[in-house]
Structure formats: C-alpha cells, structure tokens
Chain A
Amino acid sequence: MSVIINAEDEKKKSLTTAKFQSERKVIQSAAVPIELENIDTDQIIPARFLKATTRDGFGKNLFRDWRFENDDENKPVKDFALNNKIYSGKILVAGKNFGCGSSREHAAWAIKDYGFDAVVSSFFADIFKNNALNNFLLPVQISDEFLQKIFKAIKEDTNAEIEINLEAQYIKILATGEQEGFEINKYKKTCLLNGYDDIDYLLNIKDKIEAFEKATA
C-alpha cells in the first residue's frame, strides 16, 4: 500500500492548521492534572517511539510508560490522569521543570497530537518551551502559588474550567475568578496570534544573512 502525498495540499493543510490555532486567542476548557515535578521528555515520549519520519501520530504514545503497564496497551494504569475519565480538556497542568531532558520536539508533537493546546506549569525547560511555541502549543508559566490553586480547583471539581487568554496574557480559574498574568515575549505572541513561524521570518531576511556572512568572512 502506498500513500501519495501532494506537497501543495500538505502546505495548504499546515497553513490552515496554523490559521485555525491563531484564531484561538482564548483557550477555555477543563484541565488534566499531573501533579509531579521534573517531568522529562523521555516520560512524555520514550525514545523507542521516535523512529517515525513524519510529525504525525505521536499522541497515542504520549506518556506511554505511565499510561500502560509493562508496555501493554491493553493494560492501562487506571489512576494515571490520561486514563482517568474524570479528567478531560485541552489544558495539561503539571509540576515545575516540565519538559526537561532530551531536546526531542516529538514531546511537543505528542502533547499537541493528543489534543492539548496549552501546558501550564510553574517552570519549563528551555528547549521544550521553544519546541512548544514552534508548534502552537502554548506554554503558560505561572507562580508556584497559582499552580497549587489550579491543582486545588481541579481536586474540588474535576470539570473546573480554566481560561487562558493569550491576547491579554492571563490565566483564570473560572469557578473562583482568581487569575494571574503570564509572560510571553512580544515577538512569539505575535507569531502565535497570527500563525507566523520563525522560518518565514528568517527566509524573508536572507539578504541580510548573506550580507552578514560577507562582512564576517
């Protein structure tokens, strides 16, 4: 069986996805909590699932070894948040130092592919943060206090809705009205809101790059 991929269609598709995401200036949804620190990218997606040559389909192996016992898809670990039906939503909430370790962008692809649009934590590893932003997956860094408030809100009501407003840069627990601002650099915010990516930007300044090369040669 062969699959024929039309490059033009693919390009259109990826642009549409970006556009669709960019229109989502506000994410409002319940959240899935994983109350652990130092969640590394080997947990998010173990190395043995990095053998693909496309960006698709990593969601099914998201948190593979925490989700299934002995690597067996028929044996889900019942109380792990992704398997627990009481949790749902497009926001993943986790402890500090999320995404540490390997630079594998597959971690961001897996989270996105599974259906999350944002990850909330009190601290992100650098490379993961960049990878997330490059995939229109919003990393929302908040104070440890506010993170605890979100965990508490979810404990009290697993359907507790969280609002993340990228335009106004705040995150809010709708039930209590508590909110906190979050930082994002202006350039990246513009990219996310408009569906731009860094490659487009860099390709547009190729003459400047060539001039730099000549000047420093």
Chain B
Amino acid sequence: MSVQNKSGLTLFDKIWEKHIVQKIEDGPSVLYIDTHFIHEVTSPQAFTGLNKRGIKVFRPKQVVATADHNVPTLNQHLPIKEELSRLQVEALIKNCAEHGIELYGLGHPYQGIVHVIGPELGVTQPGMTMVCGDSHTSTHGAFGSIAFGIGTSEVEMVLATQCLLQSKPKLMRINVEGELNKGVVSKDIILYIISLISASGATGYAVEFAGSAIRSLSMEARMTICNMSIEMGARCGLIAPDETTFNYVNGRQFAPKGEEWNKKLAEWKTLFTDADAVFDKEIHINAKDIEPMITYGTNPGMGIGVTKNIPALNEVDAKEKPYYEKSLQYMGLEAGSLMKGKKVDYVFIGSCTNSRIEDLRMVADFVKGKKKADGVEVWIVPGSKQVEAQAQKEGIDKVLADAGFMLRQPGCSACLGMNEDKIPAGKYCISTSNRNFEGRQGPNARTFLASPLTAAVAAITGEVGDVREYLN
C-alpha cells in the first residue's frame, strides 16, 4: 500500500508543534506555556505547593494576576466585607509580591475579569499558548492562540516550570457560513452551536471556528464565541487571526512595537489552517438558521430560538428524561411551553462572556430613551476598569442610568454565585453569562442565558422577548 500522504496542518497543529518541549512515549507531551493568568480563587493552593517544595515561580514575567471572582462590584474602595473573600484576595497580593508577579488588583486601572483584561492590554496575542485556572480561558483562542483552563495542580506545574503535560486533543472545525439575521449576535451563534451538539458535544476536541460569518465578527464578538467553547466540553476554541485581529492588538500596552511588531506580524500571518488539512470532525452551519437564542434548562446546551417552544417530553430521549425533568422542575417551567413572555426578575449583563465595551455599547444603543420595566432589577457589570472608563467617556453610563439600570464596578459578579452579587432563590434572571447550572447564580436561582440584546429587551419589558420586533 502507498505511504500516507502528508496532509496540511491545522491552525491548532501549527501552534501546538511549536510549543512541544518533549514527547513522552505512550503518554502526554511537555507543552511550553507562553502566558499564565492567575486569579485569587484557584491559585492559593498552588503557591502553598511551591512553598512546600521550597521553590520560586520559574518565569514570573510570564504570569499576569488579577482579582475578579471574589471582589464586590460596589464600593470597591472599601475593604472587602466577606472575610473569606478578603483573605483570598490578600493571599493573592502576598503571593504575587513574594514571587515577583505583576498584579492588577483592586484599585489598579487595569483590574478586571482576567479574560477581559488579557486581550485589552495586548497580553493576549496570536500563536501563543495560554492557561489559567479558569475554564473560560478558552476566550483567548479568539486571537488564534491555544488557550485553555486548568486545575490548581496544573497551575502549580506552570508556576514551577512554565510547562504542562498535555495529550493532544482531537480536532474539530465548525464552519458558520453566510450572513447573520437581524438581531442575531455572536452569543446567539455559540448558544445555537451548543444546542445543536450538546454540552458534551466537543469534549476531547480543540475546536476551530471558521466560515464567513465568523470572519465578519469583531474581536469582542469572537471572544464571546471562544469563551463558551468550554460549554460544549471543548478543550479550547480558536479562530485564525486576520486583519481584524492584528488591528485590535496593534498599539495596545503590551503588544509588540516597532521592528518587533513587524517580525511578529509576519509570523502571525502564517497562522491559518492549510487548505488540505484534515479534521477529525467537521460541522457546517448556515448562519441563516440562527435566530436570537434563549436557554430554558440547566446546562448551556438546553437552548432554543426565542420564539420556539421548550421541547415536549415525547421529544426527549428516554435515557435523558430523568435529567430533563429534574432540570425543568428546577427551572419551574413546563415541557412544551413557550419561552417568549416568561417573566424575569433580574437582568445581569456582564461576565467574561459579555462585559466588553462593545456589549455595553450594544445595550446602550438599544435602551437609549427607554425605561426599565417595573419590578425588574438590572445590573450592568463592566468587565474591567478600562471598559468602565471607556463607558463613562462615551456617556454610556448616563444612558444606562437614565433607563434605570445599575452600572456596577468590574468583576465576575453574578455569573457564579461566589461574591456578594447573587440572584435570590426562586427568582428568574436573564443573564449574558455562560452557565445556567442549578445554583450557579446563587442557591435555587434560575438562569436564562441570552445575548446582551435579548437581555436588554427583558430589562425594558420584564419578560423574555424577541429583539427583532424592536428593530427596523
């Protein structure tokens, strides 16, 4: 038989191969990590591990730290009230000081959600390997980098050696072709994809997002898509860098400058999937099939078009029924019923998925001159101090305040039910965050995931609605 022809390389292959220090026979590879983000929740035990071994951080200049999960989003100038949260943030300050790591903590003009500040500071660049003890590290893949979440033991490994032991994942490409429908934004694309392939549909895969609909997106919008690739189980999500990417990175604080920029740019322009590269799995989606999305259940795969009915019981696979029924019971929803018109109590616009300036602009444009519905509480939480400052500069803060929305201070906020911002038991929250798991936003809180536009509609009307009815 003929020898197998050498096929082209994927974007993932090109970055992966360049970062292999060593391969272990019948085992993982030693992968070099360019940039390591840390935050207060998943790092303290890693530093304790280093201290026990009596070693220092190997490459402190390649580590960037911020405090985001545990920070309050009001009165950030005051000490953190919750003692355990405060102790965790203080431990981060101490650990960073002891190991010479740059910390953008509370009060720093660069502070914010780790996956918002990396890109906006120009730390995130094409072709890099990046990790963080946080599953939404996949966000940074939007720049054409391999970026993924790790556990605390792995955080310790990277702090100690700037390397990780990793098995190469399988490769999947999801192509979204065509023009997006009116009112459909990148959050809808990713919620649609996850609803199609399920919350475990990409487990074991690195997923490249491609196609004309993806290429037409801004960097902010691309980040939203890669951010949620973990919600279908993907090891990471990535998008080939192009002019949109280069223009975004160029001129940012930590982006390469001058001659170094030219050198890097030439390198970045080689980062694409070769025409003859082969994926383990490929999915084709027509952008026209995507409408504004909403989730009804307790995992991000349980989403539907905002005008559709929640699947009836007889449409659900027998094996999945116990989970499905438990899920709807938790949500207080009936199988077969319509999502449109469901009342909401809270609106949360924020999180590493949708708290960038473009998201805030989108919401402000929509609500300008409108008022929030009675009985609805609306929280807008910018992803970083820089987003907050930009929003103030553009007058977005005033537009939101006039509508009766509360613009809070940067942090993870109500995405995860950890800091002070929690949704009360039994209440419904339409949220631009990434997870609708039971209790995610607080014990017994109920979450509908949606785009910033669909969330804005709910803020104005007090219920789940179709944004297309409000657009000309």
Q: Which residues in A have their C-beta under 8 angstroms from that of B53?
A: 11, 199, 203
- B380 in the interface, Cβ–Cβ < 8 Å? no
Q: Which residues in B have their C-beta under 8 angstroms from that of A55?
A: 45, 152
* Pair A50/B18 contact, Cβ less than 8 Å: no
* Pair A125/B151 contact, Cβ less than 8 Å: no
Q: Which residues in B have their C-beta under 8 angstroms from that of A131?
A: 151-154
Q: Which residues in A have their C-beta under 8 angstroms from that of B160?
A: 199, 202-203
When the two chains form the complex, which single residue of A42, A53, A197 contacts B48, counting CB atoms closer than 8 Å? A53
CA distance A71 to B160 in the complex (A): 38
Contacting A at CB under 8 A, from B15-35, are: 18, 21-22, 24, 26-28, 30, 32
A151 vs chain B, min Cβ distance (A): 11
> Knowing A105-B153, A134-B154, A199-B49 touch, does A97 contact B437 (C-beta < 8 A)?
no
Q: Among B51, B88, B165, B417, which residue has the most Cβ atoms of chain A within 10 A? A: B165
* Pair B438/A53 contact, Cβ less than 8 Å: no
* Pair B417/A10 contact, Cβ less than 8 Å: no
A129 vs chain B, min Cβ distance (A): 9
When the two chains form the complex, which single residue of A103, A185, A187 contacts B133, counting CB atoms closer than 8 Å? A103
CA distance A104 to B55 in the complex (A): 24
* Pair A53/B88 contact, Cβ less than 8 Å: yes
* Pair B32/A54 contact, Cβ less than 8 Å: no
Contacting A at CB under 8 A, from B422-459, are: 425, 435, 437-440, 443-444
* Pair A134/B153 contact, Cβ less than 8 Å: yes
- B370 in the interface, Cβ–Cβ < 8 Å? no
* Pair B52/A135 contact, Cβ less than 8 Å: no
* Pair B22/A36 contact, Cβ less than 8 Å: no
Q: Which residues in A have their C-beta under 8 angstroms from that of B258?
A: none
When the two chains form the complex, which single residue of A42, A108, A134, A185 contacts B439, counting CB atoms closer than 8 Å? A42
Q: Which residues in B have their C-beta under 8 angstroms from that of A10?
A: 52
- A113 in the interface, Cβ–Cβ < 8 Å? no
CA distance A100 to B301 in the complex (A): 12
CA distance A69 to B105 in the complex (A): 36
* Pair B45/A96 contact, Cβ less than 8 Å: no
- B359 in the interface, Cβ–Cβ < 8 Å? no
* Pair A105/B26 contact, Cβ less than 8 Å: no
CA distance A175 to B21 in the complex (A): 48
- Interface 9-residue window, one of A20-28, A82-90, A166-174, A206-214: A206-214
- B161 in the interface, Cβ–Cβ < 8 Å? yes
- A33 in the interface, Cβ–Cβ < 8 Å? no
* Pair A53/B44 contact, Cβ less than 8 Å: yes
Nearest chain A residue, comparing its CB with the CB of B323: A37
- Interface 9-residue window, one of B2-10, B197-205, B214-222, B240-248: B197-205
Q: Which residues in A have their C-beta under 8 angstroms from that of B437?
A: 40, 42-43, 101
Q: Which residues in B have their C-beta under 8 angstroms from that of A187?
A: 24, 26-28, 165
Q: Which residues in A have their C-beta under 8 angstroms from that of B45?
A: 53-55, 105
CA distance A144 to B85 in the complex (A): 41
- B265 in the interface, Cβ–Cβ < 8 Å? no
Q: Which residues in A have their C-beta under 8 angstroms from that of B322?
A: 35-36
* Pair B157/A199 contact, Cβ less than 8 Å: yes
> Knowing A36-B323, A134-B153, A205-B22 touch, does A125 contact B233 (C-beta < 8 A)?
yes
- A2 in the interface, Cβ–Cβ < 8 Å? no
When the two chains form the complex, which single residue of B52, B88, B231, B443 contacts A71, counting CB atoms closer than 8 Å? B443
CA distance A103 to B114 in the complex (A): 15
CA distance A1 to B167 in the complex (A): 45
- B386 in the interface, Cβ–Cβ < 8 Å? no
A75 vs chain B, min Cβ distance (A): 13
CA distance A162 to B296 in the complex (A): 37
* Pair B199/A65 contact, Cβ less than 8 Å: no
Contacting B at CB under 8 A, from A87-122, are: 95-97, 100-106, 108
* Pair B41/A36 contact, Cβ less than 8 Å: no
Q: Which residues in A have their C-beta under 8 angstroms from that of B49?
A: 199
When the two chains form the complex, which single residue of A38, A105, A202, A208 contacts B165, counting CB atoms closer than 8 Å? A202
> Knowing A43-B438, A43-B439, A53-B91 touch, does A100 contact B233 (C-beta < 8 A)?
yes
When the two chains form the complex, which single residue of B134, B156, B162, B230 contacts A209, counting CB atoms closer than 8 Å? B162
CA distance A95 to B84 in the complex (A): 34
B242 vs chain A, min Cβ distance (A): 24
When the two chains form the complex, which single residue of A7, A48, A71 contacts B418, counting CB atoms closer than 8 Å? A48
Contacting A at CB under 8 A, from B144-167, are: 148-154, 156-157, 160-165, 167
CA distance A178 to B230 in the complex (A): 35
- A130 in the interface, Cβ–Cβ < 8 Å? yes
Q: With A47-B417, A96-B200 given, can you name 18 additional A-B contacts, CB distance below 8 Å?
A: A7-B54, A36-B326, A37-B323, A38-B200, A40-B435, A51-B84, A53-B45, A65-B438, A65-B444, A71-B443, A103-B149, A104-B42, A127-B135, A187-B165, A202-B163, A206-B58, A209-B163, A213-B32
Supply 29 A–B pairs (Cβ within 8 Å), ascending by A.
Answer: A7-B51, A7-B52, A42-B437, A42-B438, A42-B439, A43-B438, A46-B443, A51-B84, A51-B87, A51-B88, A52-B84, A53-B91, A54-B48, A97-B199, A100-B203, A102-B435, A103-B133, A103-B134, A105-B45, A123-B200, A125-B203, A126-B169, A131-B153, A197-B153, A199-B160, A202-B161, A209-B32, A209-B58, A209-B161
